[in-house]
């Protein structure tokens, strides 16, 4: 929290000096200021949760006012810390507030522009009757913070069980705890005309490439949007190609993943109100890596990564290949296999493409229904859909059971993608393949493949090539892409991040080996 407050204090201070001059020099400015006060007071008093109360100091008998928005503040602070001190102690002038209040964030100010901003940030405004020298603020924010819970989307059996929450202060705390170094920089931005969303751009000074950091800052500054609800808005607005189905920034709810990506030389973006951090630049293979891969032995991790790669290809390709072969090239299948296929398709009255579309759409419906329903009902839907619909449609002769197996397997395979945004992309990718397969069989699949590859080749993530390390080919970066080599082989940071310091640790030390019997 401390970091959070520090920034808040800094921000509105800047125009202070300028405003004092204004007030002293021209009476016009004061009038305008008064008008401004009236404006915000008018607006705020329309709401129910706006409070202005008078109290009297017991020693001086002076009247002072608290102005605040009760829904934003912690009343306990008023009752226990503020009121007893201000009521009972010597309170003669506004600057006494600093002496009297046992609260860290207290400020005496003369800039009336600040008032609405501060009130809406959870500060209490103190004014003293007869004292025109200024007014005071103290912070009494109510922190409605969900407690840190286990990650649900990126669940891992081994490893930390912390996930981000909606409060940016809490999330910063989770990251800072993992990287207690002064080089960890967090720059704050405010985005959104209405939502005034706080955004932190986090990177490690001396490691992360400055150009990439500047790109991120530039793009955040350029955002024209009234309201930001979540970090996923950012993925869409600031990514290099907003018209691509592929996500170009990695979102994660795991502080450990963010910390280790920062150490790698990436930039992280935290958005207030969003339990997901964004990481960039990323590459395509990273979307198929689960962070748990780092918590298990490198041999197992590499094996699991290869399984996932296979699953993705299988999931996209198998139904289109079925359609292509059954529609155009049944000669391709050996005789024995053909018998199985023909028997299963004998009663199906539809062409393969309709049969496949029917099942694929059914699976998509199940998925969508399952994800919109409460968990418990969702499970029932899964059983109803999976067993009843599947069996029934085969028995009714609407689909062949071979295809049913393929579609079910490909649905299963698509769930292995650890990043949710990417698994959505994979869901829709098979449809263009299906249509091309219907048109030209395997040739059509190749053409669709070429289109996708071209699209991926053209994509960049914060200006860095998305297909790295495959293209541009960088053999060194394969150490943590499709496979994961042991940690002692990861002494260099990824090339595509163009880090200022490319060495993570001395590889010689890590490699030192003893001879036999020494």
- End-to-end CA, the chain: 52
Give the span between the Cα atoms of 465 and 478, in whole angstroms: 15
State which of residues 337, 377, 384, 412 lies at the interface with another protein (CB under 8 A). Answer: 337
Nearer CB in complex with another protein: 413/459: 459
Among the residue ranges 100-108, 331-339, 368-376, 419-427, the one whose residues contact another protein (CB under 8 A)? 331-339
Q: Is residue 472 a contact point for another protein (CB under 8 A)?
A: yes
435 near another protein, rule: CB under 8 A: no
For 117-155, the three-class secondary structure string (H helix, E strand, C coil) is HHHHCCEEEEEECCCCCCEEEEECECCCCCCCCCCCCCC
In whole angstroms, the minimum distance from the beta carbon of 359 to another protein comes to 21
Contact between 450 and another protein by CB under 8 A: the answer reads: yes
Which of 249, 467, 481, 483 contacts another protein by CB under 8 A? 467
Site membership for another protein, residue 473 (CB under 8 A): yes
| Cα gap 372→336, rounded to integer Å | 43
Rounded to a whole number of angstroms, the minimum distance from the CB of residue 446 to another protein is 5
- Based on the shown chain and the rule CB under 8 A, indicate whether residue 296 belongs to the binding site for another protein: no
Options 451, 503, 506, 511; binder of another protein; rule CB under 8 A: 451
d(CA 267, CA 160): 21
Total binding residues for another protein by CB under 8 A?
27
CA separation for the pair 220, 61 (Å, rounded): 51
Distance separating alpha carbons of residues 42 and 31, to the nearest angstrom: 16
| Options 177, 193, 458, 511; binder of another protein; rule CB under 8 A | 458
Which residues lie below 8 Å from residue 366, measured CB to CB, with a gap of 6+?
A: 381, 382, 385, 386, 389
CB within 8 Å of 360: residues ≥ 6 apart: 319, 407, 430, 431, 434
Question: Which span sits near another protein by CB under 8 A: 91-99, 154-162, 366-374, 444-452?
Answer: 444-452
Given the complex with another protein, which of 29 and 447 has the nearer CB atom? 447
DSSP 8-state code for residue 203: E
Told to check if 405 binds another protein by CB under 8 A, we report: no
| 102 is a contact residue toward another protein (CB under 8 A) | no
| 85-93, 189-197, 348-356, 471-479 -> range binding another protein (CB under 8 A) | 471-479
Q: What gap in Å lies between CA 102 and CA 321, rounded to an integer?
A: 72
Told to check if 443 binds another protein by CB under 8 A, we report: yes
Beta bridge partners of 203: 185
Angle of helix 352-372 relative to helix 375-383, nearest 10 degrees, comes to 160
Candidate residues 309, 333, 408, 510; the one interacting with another protein per rule CB under 8 A: 333
Contacting positions for another protein (CB under 8 A): 328-329, 331-335, 337, 440-443, 445-447, 449-451, 453-454, 457-458, 465, 467, 471-473
């Amino acid at each position: 929290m401390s970091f959070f407050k520090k920034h808040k204090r800094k921000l509105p201070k800047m125009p202070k000096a300028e405003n004092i001059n204004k007030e002293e020099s021209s009476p016009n400015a004061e009038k305008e200021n008064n008008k401004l006060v009236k404006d915000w007071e008018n607006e705020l008093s329309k709401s129910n949760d706006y409070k202005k109360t008078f109290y009297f100091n017991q020693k001086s008998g002076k009247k002072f006012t608290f102005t605040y928005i009760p829904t934003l503040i912690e009343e306990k602070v008023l009752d226990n810390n503020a009121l007893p001190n201000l009521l009972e102690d010597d309170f003669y002038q506004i600057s006494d507030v600093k002496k009297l209040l046992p609260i860290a964030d207290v400020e005496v100010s003369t800039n009336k522009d600040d008032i609405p901003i501060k009130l809406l940030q959870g500060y209490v405004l103190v004014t003293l009757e007869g004292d025109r020298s200024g007014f005071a603020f103290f912070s009494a924010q109510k922190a409605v913070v969900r407690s840190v819970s286990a990650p649900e989307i990126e669940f891992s059996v081994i490893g930390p069980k912390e996930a981000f929450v909606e409060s940016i202060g809490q999330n910063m705390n989770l990251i800072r705890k993992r990287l207690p170094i002064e080089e960890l920089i967090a720059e704050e931005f405010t985005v959104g005309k209405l939502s005034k969303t706080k955004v932190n751009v986090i990177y490690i000074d001396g490691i992360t490439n400055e150009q990439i950091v500047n790109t991120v800052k530039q793009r955040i500054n350029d955002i024209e949007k009234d309201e930001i609800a979540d970090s996923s808005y950012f993925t869409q607005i600031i990514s290099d190609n907003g018209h691509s189905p592929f996500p170009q920034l990695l979102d994660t709810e795991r502080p450990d993943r963010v910390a280790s990506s920062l150490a790698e030389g990436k930039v992280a973006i935290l958005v207030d109100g969003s339990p997901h951090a964004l990481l960039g630049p990323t590459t395509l293979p990273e979307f198929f890596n689960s962070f748990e891969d780092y918590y298990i032995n490198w041999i197992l991790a590499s094996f699991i990564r290869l399984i996932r790669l296979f699953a993705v290809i299988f999931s996209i390709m198998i139904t289109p290949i079925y359609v292509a072969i059954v529609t155009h090239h049944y000669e391709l299948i050996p005789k024995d296999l053909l018998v199985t296929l023909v028997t299963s398709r004998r009663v199906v009255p539809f062409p393969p493409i309709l049969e496949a579309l029917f099942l694929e759409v059914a699976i998509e419906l199940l998925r969508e229904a399952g994800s919109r329903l409460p968990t418990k009902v969702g499970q029932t839907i899964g059983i109803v859909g999976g067993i009843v619909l599947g069996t029934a449609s085969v028995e009714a002769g609407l689909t062949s059971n071979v295809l049913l197996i393929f579609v079910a397997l490909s649905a299963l395979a698509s769930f292995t993608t650890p990043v949710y945004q990417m698994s959505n992309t994979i869901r829709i990718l098979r449809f263009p393949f299906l249509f091309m397969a219907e048109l030209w069989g395997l040739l059509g699949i190749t053409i669709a493949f070429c289109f996708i590859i071209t699209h991926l080749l053209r994509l960049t993530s914060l200006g860095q090539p998305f297909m790295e390390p495959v293209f541009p080919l960088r053999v060194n970066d394969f150490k943590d892409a499709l496979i994961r080599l042991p940690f002692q082989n990861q002494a260099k940071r990824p090339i595509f991040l163009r880090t200022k310091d490319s060495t993570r640790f001395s590889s010689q030390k890590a490699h030192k080996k003893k001879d036999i019997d020494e």
